């Protein structure tokens, strides 16, 4: 039982740290954005590379995802759920990559991979991303 409690606290602690970083970014703190990138870029890269199997494009999509996240961060209503929100953005970018490259799975919807409860903000970014693709 204690292990479950510790895991729950660890998750809450990570989410609290993410929320702090988001708020710092929104006040113009570039070091906070760098910290958010360092915290989550590897996980996002692993997710993307598992979907597109192209190292160079995966790196580019991670960078695109962070640029979109930074641009639309002010729309995120639940800063503690920024990671889920970024996975949703990454999912949309992966889907766009498949459409653009006409790879198998191009019509697959990856947005259900991570349940983002910050859905309102994620939806706005997804719509903007779809327009740009």
Largest CA distance in the chain: 49
**Alpha helix ranges (H) inside the chain:** 2-26, 30-52, 55-72, 82-101, 119-132
Residue appearing with tokens 């870029």:
41
Kindly list the structural domains of the chain, giving each domain's residue range(s) and its CATH number in brackets, ordered by start.
Answer: 2-132 (1.10.1740.10)
- Rounded to whole angstroms, the Cα distance separating 35 from 25 reads 10
pLDDT in tens, 17-27: 999 999 999 99
Question: Phi first, then psi: what are they for 89, rounded to 5°?
Answer: -65, -45
Tell if the pTM clears 0.75, that is, is over it.
Answer: no
Burial class for 65, CB neighbours closer than 10 Å (0-12, 13-18, 19+): buried
102 confidence band (pLDDT: 50, 70, 90): confident
- Rounded to whole angstroms, the Cα distance separating 46 from 58 reads 9
The residue ranking higher by pLDDT, 76 or 53, is: 76
The residue ranking higher by pLDDT, 116 or 27, is: 27
The two tokens of residue 116 are: 């983002």
Q: How far from the centroid of its chain's Cα atoms is residue 2's Cα?
A: 31
């Amino acid at each position: 039982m204690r292990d479950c409690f510790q895991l729950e606290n660890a998750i809450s602690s990570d989410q609290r740290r993410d929320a702090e970083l988001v708020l710092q970014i929104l006040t113009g703190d570039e070091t906070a954005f760098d910290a958010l990138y360092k915290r989550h870029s590897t996980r996002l890269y692993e997710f993307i590379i598992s979907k597109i199997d192209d190292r160079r494009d995966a790196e580019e999509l991670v960078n695109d995802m962070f640029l979109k996240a930074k641009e639309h961060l002010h729309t995120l209503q639940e800063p503690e759920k920024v990671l889920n929100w970024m996975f949703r953005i990454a999912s949309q970018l992966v889907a766009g990559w498949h459409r653009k490259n006409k790879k198998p799975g191009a019509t697959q919807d990856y947005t259900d991979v991570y349940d983002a409860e910050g859905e309102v903000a994620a939806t706005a970014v997804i719509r903007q991303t779809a327009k740009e693709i």
